[in-house]
Protein backbone atom coordinates (compact mmCIF):
# COMPACT_ATOMS: atom_id res chain seq x y z
CA UNK A 1 0.00 0.00 0.00
CA UNK A 2 1.20 3.52 -0.80
CA UNK A 3 1.66 6.27 1.78
CA UNK A 4 2.73 9.86 1.62
CA UNK A 5 2.03 13.53 2.15
CA UNK A 6 -1.32 14.59 0.72
CA UNK A 7 -1.11 18.26 1.72
CA UNK A 8 0.66 20.54 4.16
CA UNK A 9 0.05 23.84 5.98
CA UNK A 10 2.42 26.20 7.73
CA UNK A 11 2.08 28.59 10.62
CA UNK A 12 4.86 31.13 11.07
CA UNK A 13 4.74 33.80 13.82
CA UNK A 14 4.49 37.26 12.28
CA UNK A 15 7.10 38.95 14.47
CA UNK A 16 10.65 38.92 13.15
CA UNK A 17 14.13 40.23 13.82
CA UNK A 18 16.09 41.56 10.87
CA UNK A 19 19.52 39.94 10.70
CA UNK A 20 21.26 43.23 9.79
CA UNK A 21 19.84 45.06 12.87
CA UNK A 22 20.69 42.06 14.98
CA UNK A 23 24.27 41.83 13.71
CA UNK A 24 24.90 45.50 14.41
CA UNK A 25 23.54 45.14 17.96
CA UNK A 26 25.83 42.17 18.61
CA UNK A 27 28.89 43.79 17.03
CA UNK A 28 29.04 41.27 14.19
CA UNK A 29 29.51 42.04 10.50
CA UNK A 30 26.00 41.81 8.92
CA UNK A 31 27.59 39.95 6.01
CA UNK A 32 28.45 37.08 8.35
CA UNK A 33 24.75 36.44 8.97
CA UNK A 34 23.47 37.28 5.50
CA UNK A 35 26.15 35.77 3.27
CA UNK A 36 28.02 33.54 5.74
CA UNK A 37 25.01 31.78 7.28
CA UNK A 38 22.25 32.74 4.81
CA UNK A 39 19.95 34.40 7.37
CA UNK A 40 17.98 37.53 6.56
CA UNK A 41 15.04 37.31 9.02
CA UNK A 42 14.32 35.24 12.12
CA UNK A 43 10.68 34.59 13.11
CA UNK A 44 10.05 35.23 16.81
CA UNK A 45 7.00 34.11 18.81
CA UNK A 46 4.75 36.71 20.39
CA UNK A 47 4.21 36.67 24.16
CA UNK A 48 0.92 34.77 23.75
CA UNK A 49 2.35 31.98 21.58
CA UNK A 50 4.00 28.70 22.48
CA UNK A 51 4.85 25.56 20.47
CA UNK A 52 1.37 24.12 21.13
CA UNK A 53 -0.35 27.21 19.64
CA UNK A 54 1.93 27.11 16.60
CA UNK A 55 1.11 23.42 16.09
CA UNK A 56 -2.65 23.89 16.59
CA UNK A 57 -2.72 26.84 14.17
CA UNK A 58 -0.91 24.86 11.45
CA UNK A 59 -3.19 21.88 12.07
CA UNK A 60 -6.38 23.93 11.88
CA UNK A 61 -5.26 25.50 8.59
CA UNK A 62 -4.51 22.05 7.18
CA UNK A 63 -7.89 20.64 8.20
CA UNK A 64 -9.88 23.67 7.03
CA UNK A 65 -8.25 23.89 3.63
CA UNK A 66 -8.87 20.18 3.00
CA UNK A 67 -12.33 19.98 4.57
CA UNK A 68 -10.97 17.30 6.89
CA UNK A 69 -13.16 16.68 9.92
CA UNK A 70 -11.90 15.06 13.14
CA UNK A 71 -13.68 11.82 12.18
CA UNK A 72 -11.37 11.58 9.14
CA UNK A 73 -8.26 11.61 11.36
CA UNK A 74 -6.99 8.42 13.03
CA UNK A 75 -3.72 9.72 14.46
CA UNK A 76 -2.42 13.13 15.43
CA UNK A 77 1.31 13.19 16.22
CA UNK A 78 3.31 16.24 17.22
CA UNK A 79 7.09 16.16 16.94
CA UNK A 80 8.93 18.85 18.87
CA UNK A 81 11.94 19.59 21.01
CA UNK A 82 10.18 22.53 22.68
CA UNK A 83 8.11 20.32 25.01
CA UNK A 84 5.94 22.08 27.61
CA UNK A 85 5.75 19.25 30.11
CA UNK A 86 7.80 16.18 31.14
CA UNK A 87 4.68 13.99 30.97
CA UNK A 88 1.77 15.61 29.15
CA UNK A 89 2.26 15.32 25.40
CA UNK A 90 2.10 18.35 23.11
CA UNK A 91 -0.52 16.75 20.86
CA UNK A 92 -2.97 16.70 23.81
CA UNK A 93 -2.81 20.51 24.02
CA UNK A 94 -3.36 20.66 20.26
CA UNK A 95 -6.40 18.38 20.48
CA UNK A 96 -7.77 20.57 23.30
CA UNK A 97 -7.48 23.64 21.08
CA UNK A 98 -8.93 21.96 17.98
CA UNK A 99 -11.92 20.74 20.03
CA UNK A 100 -12.73 24.39 20.81
CA UNK A 101 -13.46 24.69 17.07
CA UNK A 102 -14.71 21.18 16.20
CA UNK A 103 -16.63 20.45 19.40
CA UNK A 104 -15.94 18.64 22.69
CA UNK A 105 -14.65 15.04 22.31
CA UNK A 106 -14.56 15.35 18.52
CA UNK A 107 -11.06 13.78 18.49
CA UNK A 108 -11.91 11.14 21.12
CA UNK A 109 -11.40 8.20 18.73
CA UNK A 110 -7.98 9.50 17.64
CA UNK A 111 -4.55 8.39 18.92
CA UNK A 112 -1.09 9.89 18.93
CA UNK A 113 1.96 10.91 20.90
CA UNK A 114 4.59 13.63 21.16
CA UNK A 115 7.85 12.53 19.52
CA UNK A 116 11.29 13.68 20.60
CA UNK A 117 14.72 13.37 19.03
CA UNK A 118 15.82 16.97 18.45
CA UNK A 119 15.20 18.02 14.84
CA UNK A 120 14.89 14.52 13.36
CA UNK A 121 11.81 13.40 15.33
CA UNK A 122 9.34 14.74 12.74
CA UNK A 123 10.88 12.41 10.17
CA UNK A 124 10.50 9.43 12.52
CA UNK A 125 6.87 10.49 13.09
CA UNK A 126 6.22 10.60 9.34
CA UNK A 127 7.89 7.22 8.86
CA UNK A 128 5.94 5.53 11.67
CA UNK A 129 2.62 6.97 10.52
CA UNK A 130 3.34 6.01 6.90
CA UNK A 131 3.93 2.45 8.08
CA UNK A 132 0.63 2.57 10.00
CA UNK A 133 -1.04 3.43 6.69
CA UNK A 134 0.98 0.86 4.70
CA UNK A 135 0.08 -1.85 7.20
CA UNK A 136 -3.61 -1.26 6.51
CA UNK A 137 -4.27 -0.16 10.09
CA UNK A 138 -5.67 3.24 9.10
CA UNK A 139 -9.07 1.93 7.94
CA UNK A 140 -9.48 4.76 5.49
CA UNK A 141 -8.49 7.47 7.97
CA UNK A 142 -5.65 9.93 7.59
CA UNK A 143 -2.81 10.72 9.97
CA UNK A 144 -1.70 14.24 10.79
CA UNK A 145 1.92 14.87 11.74
CA UNK A 146 2.72 18.33 13.02
CA UNK A 147 6.30 19.53 13.51
CA UNK A 148 6.48 22.59 15.73
CA UNK A 149 9.34 24.37 17.46
CA UNK A 150 10.80 27.55 18.85
CA UNK A 151 14.55 27.73 18.28
CA UNK A 152 15.86 29.90 21.10
CA UNK A 153 19.49 30.29 22.19
CA UNK A 154 21.25 32.23 24.95
CA UNK A 155 21.47 35.96 24.37
CA UNK A 156 24.94 36.91 23.16
CA UNK A 157 25.82 33.35 22.08
CA UNK A 158 26.72 32.46 18.49
CA UNK A 159 23.63 30.23 18.42
CA UNK A 160 21.51 33.36 18.80
CA UNK A 161 22.09 34.05 15.07
CA UNK A 162 20.25 30.85 14.22
CA UNK A 163 16.87 31.30 15.92
CA UNK A 164 13.40 31.03 14.42
CA UNK A 165 9.96 29.54 15.09
CA UNK A 166 7.06 27.90 13.31
CA UNK A 167 5.07 24.76 12.60
CA UNK A 168 4.27 22.61 9.59
CA UNK A 169 1.27 20.26 9.62
CA UNK A 170 1.18 17.37 7.16
CA UNK A 171 -1.76 15.22 6.13
CA UNK A 172 -0.79 11.61 5.38
CA UNK A 173 -2.86 9.04 3.54
CA UNK A 174 -2.70 6.16 1.05
CA UNK A 175 -3.52 8.28 -2.02
CA UNK A 176 -1.29 11.32 -1.49
CA UNK A 177 -1.63 14.15 -3.98
CA UNK A 178 1.76 15.70 -3.12
CA UNK A 179 4.47 13.13 -2.40
CA UNK A 180 4.50 9.36 -2.16
CA UNK A 181 7.31 7.98 0.01
CA UNK A 182 9.61 5.41 -1.60
CA UNK A 183 9.13 2.13 0.27
CA UNK A 184 11.95 0.13 1.90
CA UNK A 185 14.71 2.71 1.43
CA UNK A 186 14.43 4.85 4.57
CA UNK A 187 17.78 4.67 6.36
CA UNK A 188 19.03 5.88 9.71
CA UNK A 189 22.18 6.38 11.78
CA UNK A 190 22.37 6.99 15.51
CA UNK A 191 25.04 7.71 18.15
CA UNK A 192 25.06 9.06 21.71
CA UNK A 193 26.46 12.61 21.32
CA UNK A 194 26.45 15.96 23.12
CA UNK A 195 26.65 18.35 20.18
CA UNK A 196 23.46 20.18 21.19
CA UNK A 197 21.18 19.34 24.11
CA UNK A 198 18.83 21.03 26.56
CA UNK A 199 18.96 19.69 30.13
CA UNK A 200 15.68 19.51 32.12
CA UNK A 201 14.51 22.94 33.25
CA UNK A 202 16.86 24.88 30.96
CA UNK A 203 15.08 27.02 28.38
CA UNK A 204 17.99 27.28 25.95
CA UNK A 205 20.32 24.55 24.67
CA UNK A 206 23.99 23.94 25.38
CA UNK A 207 25.65 23.92 21.97
CA UNK A 208 29.06 23.02 20.58
CA UNK A 209 28.55 24.86 17.30
CA UNK A 210 31.42 23.69 15.06
CA UNK A 211 31.23 20.17 16.50
CA UNK A 212 27.50 20.09 15.70
CA UNK A 213 28.14 21.24 12.11
CA UNK A 214 30.62 18.43 11.45
CA UNK A 215 28.61 15.79 13.29
CA UNK A 216 25.54 16.67 11.18
CA UNK A 217 27.56 16.09 7.99
CA UNK A 218 29.01 12.78 9.22
CA UNK A 219 25.71 11.37 10.49
CA UNK A 220 23.76 12.32 7.36
CA UNK A 221 26.52 10.78 5.23
CA UNK A 222 26.26 7.50 7.22
CA UNK A 223 22.48 7.34 6.73
CA UNK A 224 22.98 8.25 3.05
CA UNK A 225 25.39 5.31 2.55
CA UNK A 226 22.70 2.94 3.89
CA UNK A 227 20.06 4.65 1.71
CA UNK A 228 22.26 4.24 -1.38
CA UNK A 229 22.53 0.50 -0.85
CA UNK A 230 18.78 0.13 -0.34
CA UNK A 231 17.89 2.32 -3.32
CA UNK A 232 20.12 0.23 -5.61
CA UNK A 233 19.06 -3.12 -4.09
CA UNK A 234 15.34 -2.35 -4.39
CA UNK A 235 15.91 -1.03 -7.92
CA UNK A 236 14.11 2.30 -7.36
CA UNK A 237 17.28 3.92 -8.71
CA UNK A 238 19.56 2.41 -11.35
CA UNK A 239 22.90 3.96 -12.11
CA UNK A 240 25.22 3.69 -15.11
CA UNK A 241 29.02 3.65 -15.16
CA UNK A 242 30.43 7.00 -14.02
CA UNK A 243 27.25 8.08 -12.22
CA UNK A 244 26.28 8.62 -8.60
CA UNK A 245 22.88 7.93 -7.16
CA UNK A 246 22.57 11.71 -6.60
CA UNK A 247 22.39 12.15 -10.39
CA UNK A 248 19.02 10.36 -10.22
CA UNK A 249 17.56 12.34 -7.33
CA UNK A 250 15.94 15.44 -8.81
CA UNK A 251 15.84 17.57 -5.64
CA UNK A 252 17.50 17.46 -2.24
CA UNK A 253 15.92 18.82 0.94
CA UNK A 254 18.22 19.00 3.95
CA UNK A 255 17.67 19.88 7.61
CA UNK A 256 18.32 23.64 7.72
CA UNK A 257 19.40 25.06 11.09
CA UNK A 258 20.40 27.99 8.86
CA UNK A 259 20.10 28.21 5.13
CA UNK A 260 23.81 27.77 4.31
CA UNK A 261 23.96 24.45 6.19
CA UNK A 262 22.19 23.03 3.13
CA UNK A 263 25.09 24.21 0.95
CA UNK A 264 27.62 22.72 3.38
CA UNK A 265 25.79 19.40 3.36
CA UNK A 266 25.61 19.35 -0.45
CA UNK A 267 29.33 20.04 -0.90
CA UNK A 268 30.22 17.43 1.75
CA UNK A 269 28.12 14.76 0.01
CA UNK A 270 29.17 15.67 -3.53
CA UNK A 271 32.88 15.66 -2.71
CA UNK A 272 32.55 12.15 -1.32
CA UNK A 273 30.33 10.91 -4.16
CA UNK A 274 32.32 12.44 -7.01
CA UNK A 275 35.85 11.50 -5.84
CA UNK A 276 35.75 8.16 -7.61
CA UNK A 277 34.00 9.40 -10.76
CA UNK A 278 35.56 10.64 -14.03
CA UNK A 279 34.04 14.12 -13.48
CA UNK A 280 36.21 14.64 -10.35
CA UNK A 281 39.36 15.30 -12.40
CA UNK A 282 37.84 18.17 -14.39
CA UNK A 283 36.07 19.52 -11.29
CA UNK A 284 39.14 19.53 -9.09
CA UNK A 285 41.21 21.14 -11.87
CA UNK A 286 39.00 24.21 -11.54
CA UNK A 287 39.87 24.55 -7.85
CA UNK A 288 43.60 24.70 -8.62
CA UNK A 289 44.45 22.79 -5.44
CA UNK A 290 44.66 19.22 -4.16
CA UNK A 291 41.87 18.04 -1.93
CA UNK A 292 43.32 18.23 1.61
CA UNK A 293 43.51 15.17 3.88
CA UNK A 294 43.47 15.37 7.71
CA UNK A 295 46.63 14.32 9.60
CA UNK A 296 44.62 11.44 11.05
CA UNK A 297 41.93 10.57 8.47
CA UNK A 298 40.37 8.01 10.84
CA UNK A 299 40.48 10.42 13.81
CA UNK A 300 37.63 11.65 15.98
CA UNK A 301 35.56 14.76 15.29
CA UNK A 302 37.57 16.52 18.02
CA UNK A 303 40.92 15.56 16.43
CA UNK A 304 39.74 16.72 13.00
CA UNK A 305 38.51 20.05 14.38
CA UNK A 306 41.82 20.46 16.27
CA UNK A 307 43.83 19.85 13.07
CA UNK A 308 43.97 23.57 12.28
CA UNK A 309 46.09 23.25 9.15
CA UNK A 310 43.64 20.75 7.65
CA UNK A 311 40.58 22.76 8.71
CA UNK A 312 41.94 25.91 7.06
CA UNK A 313 42.87 24.10 3.84
CA UNK A 314 39.61 22.18 3.78
CA UNK A 315 37.67 25.43 4.22
CA UNK A 316 39.60 26.97 1.32
CA UNK A 317 39.06 23.87 -0.83
CA UNK A 318 35.32 23.79 -0.06
CA UNK A 319 34.99 27.45 -1.08
CA UNK A 320 36.73 26.74 -4.41
CA UNK A 321 34.77 23.53 -4.94
CA UNK A 322 31.46 25.37 -4.48
CA UNK A 323 32.52 27.80 -7.25
CA UNK A 324 33.10 25.03 -9.83
CA UNK A 325 30.73 24.82 -12.79
CA UNK A 326 29.67 21.29 -11.81
CA UNK A 327 28.81 22.20 -8.21
CA UNK A 328 27.01 25.42 -9.21
CA UNK A 329 24.86 23.54 -11.72
CA UNK A 330 23.96 20.84 -9.22
CA UNK A 331 23.26 23.41 -6.51
CA UNK A 332 21.01 25.57 -8.71
CA UNK A 333 19.16 22.61 -10.19
CA UNK A 334 18.60 20.52 -7.07
CA UNK A 335 18.99 22.50 -3.85
CA UNK A 336 18.67 26.30 -4.17
CA UNK A 337 14.86 26.55 -4.12
CA UNK A 338 14.60 24.61 -0.85
CA UNK A 339 16.77 27.20 0.95
CA UNK A 340 14.68 30.31 0.21
CA UNK A 341 12.13 29.97 3.04
CA UNK A 342 14.85 29.33 5.62
CA UNK A 343 16.55 32.67 4.88
CA UNK A 344 13.19 34.41 5.50
CA UNK A 345 12.26 32.56 8.70
CA UNK A 346 15.27 30.95 10.40
CA UNK A 347 15.61 27.64 12.25
CA UNK A 348 12.36 25.80 13.02
CA UNK A 349 14.17 22.72 14.41
CA UNK A 350 11.79 19.78 13.61
CA UNK A 351 9.91 21.88 11.05
CA UNK A 352 12.98 23.16 9.16
CA UNK A 353 13.28 20.21 6.78
CA UNK A 354 9.59 20.38 5.87
CA UNK A 355 9.59 24.12 5.40
CA UNK A 356 12.51 23.47 3.01
CA UNK A 357 10.45 20.82 1.20
CA UNK A 358 7.61 23.29 0.79
CA UNK A 359 10.04 25.96 -0.37
CA UNK A 360 11.43 23.56 -2.99
CA UNK A 361 7.95 22.81 -4.36
CA UNK A 362 6.75 26.43 -4.40
CA UNK A 363 9.84 27.98 -5.96
CA UNK A 364 10.52 25.21 -8.49
CA UNK A 365 6.87 25.38 -9.60
CA UNK A 366 7.25 29.14 -10.02
CA UNK A 367 10.14 28.47 -12.42
CA UNK A 368 7.66 26.57 -14.59
CA UNK A 369 9.11 23.11 -13.90
CA UNK A 370 6.69 20.17 -14.19
CA UNK A 371 7.31 18.42 -10.89
CA UNK A 372 5.24 15.28 -11.52
CA UNK A 373 7.36 12.17 -11.06
CA UNK A 374 10.36 14.07 -9.70
CA UNK A 375 12.22 12.24 -6.94
CA UNK A 376 13.02 14.25 -3.81
CA UNK A 377 15.71 13.07 -1.38
CA UNK A 378 15.50 14.14 2.26
CA UNK A 379 18.42 14.49 4.69
CA UNK A 380 17.05 14.79 8.21
CA UNK A 381 19.31 15.42 11.21
CA UNK A 382 18.68 15.68 14.94
CA UNK A 383 21.35 16.51 17.48
CA UNK A 384 22.11 14.00 20.11
CA UNK A 385 22.31 12.45 17.44
CA UNK A 386 20.49 10.68 14.64
CA UNK A 387 20.04 11.14 10.90
CA UNK A 388 17.41 9.78 8.55
CA UNK A 389 17.65 9.71 4.76
CA UNK A 390 14.60 8.87 2.69
CA UNK A 391 12.95 9.82 -0.57
CA UNK A 392 9.63 10.17 -2.35
CA UNK A 393 8.19 11.07 -5.72
CA UNK A 394 5.96 14.03 -6.53
CA UNK A 395 2.50 12.79 -7.52
CA UNK A 396 0.51 13.66 -10.70
CA UNK A 397 -2.06 15.74 -8.76
CA UNK A 398 0.54 17.95 -7.06
CA UNK A 399 -0.49 21.09 -9.01
CA UNK A 400 -3.78 21.23 -7.18
CA UNK A 401 -1.80 22.03 -4.03
CA UNK A 402 1.46 23.58 -5.16
CA UNK A 403 -0.14 26.12 -7.53
CA UNK A 404 -1.84 27.70 -4.48
CA UNK A 405 1.34 27.95 -2.38
CA UNK A 406 2.42 31.48 -1.59
CA UNK A 407 4.82 31.72 1.31
CA UNK A 408 4.67 35.49 1.83
CA UNK A 409 0.88 35.56 1.68
CA UNK A 410 0.58 32.62 4.07
CA UNK A 411 2.88 34.19 6.65
CA UNK A 412 0.85 37.41 6.41
CA UNK A 413 1.91 40.93 7.24
CA UNK A 414 5.01 40.78 9.45
CA UNK A 415 6.15 43.18 12.15
CA UNK A 416 9.84 43.93 12.49
CA UNK A 417 10.89 44.00 16.13
CA UNK A 418 13.22 46.61 17.53
CA UNK A 419 16.15 45.08 19.40
CA UNK A 420 14.62 46.29 22.68
CA UNK A 421 11.31 44.54 21.92
CA UNK A 422 13.15 41.38 20.86
CA UNK A 423 15.24 41.31 24.05
CA UNK A 424 12.16 41.82 26.24
CA UNK A 425 10.48 38.85 24.58
CA UNK A 426 13.64 36.76 24.70
CA UNK A 427 14.10 37.36 28.44
CA UNK A 428 10.38 36.57 29.12
CA UNK A 429 9.73 40.05 30.52
CA UNK A 430 6.23 40.29 29.02
CA UNK A 431 3.21 38.23 30.01
CA UNK A 432 0.79 36.61 27.49
CA UNK A 433 -1.62 39.59 27.74
CA UNK A 434 1.15 41.99 26.65
CA UNK A 435 1.35 40.65 23.10
CA UNK A 436 2.65 42.92 20.36
CA UNK A 437 0.18 41.81 17.70
CA UNK A 438 -3.59 41.32 17.66
CA UNK A 439 -4.44 37.68 17.01
CA UNK A 440 -6.58 36.94 13.92
CA UNK A 441 -8.30 33.60 13.40
CA UNK A 442 -5.75 31.75 15.50
CA UNK A 443 -5.21 30.11 18.84
CA UNK A 444 -3.34 32.04 21.51
CA UNK A 445 -2.16 31.30 25.02
CA UNK A 446 -4.03 33.31 27.65
CA UNK A 447 -2.64 32.06 30.95
CA UNK A 448 -0.44 29.54 32.75
CA UNK A 449 -1.63 28.51 36.23
CA UNK A 450 0.80 28.88 39.11
CA UNK A 451 -1.24 27.53 42.03
CA UNK A 452 0.32 24.40 43.64
CA UNK A 453 -2.59 22.12 42.62
CA UNK A 454 -2.73 23.27 38.95
CA UNK A 455 0.78 24.56 38.28
CA UNK A 456 1.62 24.59 34.58
CA UNK A 457 -1.97 24.27 33.33
CA UNK A 458 -2.30 26.29 30.16
CA UNK A 459 -5.43 28.00 28.84
CA UNK A 460 -5.83 28.80 25.17
CA UNK A 461 -8.54 30.57 23.19
CA UNK A 462 -9.38 30.82 19.52
CA UNK A 463 -9.51 34.49 18.45
CA UNK A 464 -11.94 35.16 15.61
P1 LIG B 1 30.04 30.90 14.35
O2 LIG B 1 30.93 29.81 14.79
O3 LIG B 1 30.15 32.20 15.04
O4 LIG B 1 30.20 31.18 12.80
O5 LIG B 1 28.52 30.45 14.42
P6 LIG B 1 31.39 30.82 11.82
O7 LIG B 1 32.66 31.41 12.30
O8 LIG B 1 31.36 29.36 11.51
O9 LIG B 1 30.90 31.64 10.55
C10 LIG B 1 29.72 31.28 9.88
C11 LIG B 1 29.93 31.49 8.40
O12 LIG B 1 30.02 32.89 8.14
C13 LIG B 1 31.21 30.88 7.87
O14 LIG B 1 30.91 30.40 6.58
C15 LIG B 1 32.16 32.08 7.80
O16 LIG B 1 33.21 31.91 6.85
C17 LIG B 1 31.19 33.18 7.39
P18 LIG B 1 31.54 29.00 6.07
O19 LIG B 1 32.97 29.23 6.01
O20 LIG B 1 31.18 27.97 7.09
O21 LIG B 1 30.89 28.79 4.76
N22 LIG B 1 31.63 34.54 7.76
C23 LIG B 1 31.44 35.60 6.96
N24 LIG B 1 30.90 35.71 5.74
C25 LIG B 1 30.84 36.96 5.18
N26 LIG B 1 31.31 38.07 5.81
C27 LIG B 1 31.87 38.00 7.04
C28 LIG B 1 31.96 36.72 7.66
N29 LIG B 1 32.44 36.28 8.86
C30 LIG B 1 32.22 34.94 8.90
N31 LIG B 1 32.34 39.09 7.63
C32 LIG B 1 27.23 28.38 14.26
C33 LIG B 1 27.91 29.51 13.51
C34 LIG B 1 26.35 27.63 13.29
C35 LIG B 1 28.28 27.44 14.84
C36 LIG B 1 26.38 28.99 15.43
O37 LIG B 1 25.44 29.88 14.92
C38 LIG B 1 25.67 27.93 16.26
O39 LIG B 1 26.24 27.37 17.18
N40 LIG B 1 24.37 27.65 15.93
C41 LIG B 1 23.59 26.64 16.66
C42 LIG B 1 24.01 25.22 16.33
C43 LIG B 1 23.72 24.86 14.89
O44 LIG B 1 22.90 25.44 14.23
N45 LIG B 1 24.40 23.80 14.39
C46 LIG B 1 24.17 23.32 13.06
C47 LIG B 1 24.36 21.81 12.93
S48 LIG B 1 23.54 20.89 14.21
C49 LIG B 1 21.87 20.94 13.77
O50 LIG B 1 21.55 21.30 12.69
C51 LIG B 1 20.86 20.55 14.80
C52 LIG B 1 20.08 21.70 15.39
O53 LIG B 1 19.13 22.18 14.44
C54 LIG B 1 19.39 21.26 16.68
C55 LIG B 1 18.57 20.00 16.64
O56 LIG B 1 18.81 19.00 15.99
O57 LIG B 1 17.66 20.01 17.44
C58 LIG B 1 20.95 22.87 15.76
Provide the residue-wise pLDDT of the chain in tens; the chain has 464 residues.
Answer: 899 999 999 999 999 999 999 999 999 999 999 999 999 999 999 999 999 999 999 999 999 999 999 999 999 999 999 999 999 999 999 999 999 999 999 999 999 999 999 999 999 999 999 999 999 999 999 999 999 999 999 999 999 999 999 999 999 999 999 999 999 999 999 999 999 999 999 999 999 999 999 999 999 999 999 999 999 999 999 999 999 999 999 999 999 999 999 999 999 999 999 999 999 999 999 999 999 999 998 899 999 999 999 999 999 999 999 999 999 999 999 999 999 999 999 999 999 999 999 999 999 999 999 999 999 999 999 999 999 999 999 999 999 999 999 999 999 999 999 999 999 999 999 999 999 999 999 999 999 999 999 999 999 999 99
Q: How many CA atoms lie within 13 A of 121 on its CB side?
A: 23
Q: How many CA atoms lie within 13 A of 142 on its CB side?
A: 26
Write the burial class of residue 367 (CB in 10 Å: 0-12 exposed, 13-18 middle, 19+ buried). exposed
The protein residue whose alpha carbon is closest to atom 41 in ligand 1 is 159
CB of 26 sitting under 6 A from ligand 1: no
| Top mutation candidate among 81, 213, 317 for ligand 1, by most atoms within 8 Å of CB | 213
Give the distance, in angstroms, between the CA of residue 250 and the centroid of all CA atoms in the same chain. Answer: 19
The protein residue whose alpha carbon is closest to atom 13 in ligand 1 is 36
For residue 347, which atom of ligand 1 is closest to its CA?
53
The protein residue whose alpha carbon is closest to atom 42 in ligand 1 is 209
The protein residue whose alpha carbon is closest to atom 29 in ligand 1 is 32
Question: Residue 158 Cα, ligand 1 centroid: separation in angstroms?
Answer: 8
Indicate yes or no: pTM above 0.85: yes
CB of 381 sitting under 6 A from ligand 1: yes
CB of 425 sitting under 6 A from ligand 1: no
Q: Are 5 and 253 in contact (CB under 8 A)?
A: no
- Tens digits of per-residue pLDDT, 296-351? 988 999 999 999 999 999 999 999 999 999 999 999 999 999 999 999 999 999 99
Amino acid sequence: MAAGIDDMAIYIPRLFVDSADFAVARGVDPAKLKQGLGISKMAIVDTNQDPACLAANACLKLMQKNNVSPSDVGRLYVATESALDESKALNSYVIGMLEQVYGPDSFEHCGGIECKFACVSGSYALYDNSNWIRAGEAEGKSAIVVVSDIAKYDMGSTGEYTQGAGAVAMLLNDKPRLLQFDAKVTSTSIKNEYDFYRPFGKETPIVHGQYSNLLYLIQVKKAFEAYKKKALDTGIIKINEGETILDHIDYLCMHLPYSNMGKKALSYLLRREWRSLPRWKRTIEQTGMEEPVPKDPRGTIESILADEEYMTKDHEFTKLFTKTKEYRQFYEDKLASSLIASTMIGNLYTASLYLGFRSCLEFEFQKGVDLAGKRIGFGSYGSGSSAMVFSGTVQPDYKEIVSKMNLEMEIGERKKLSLEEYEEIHENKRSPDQSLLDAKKEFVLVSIEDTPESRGERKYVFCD
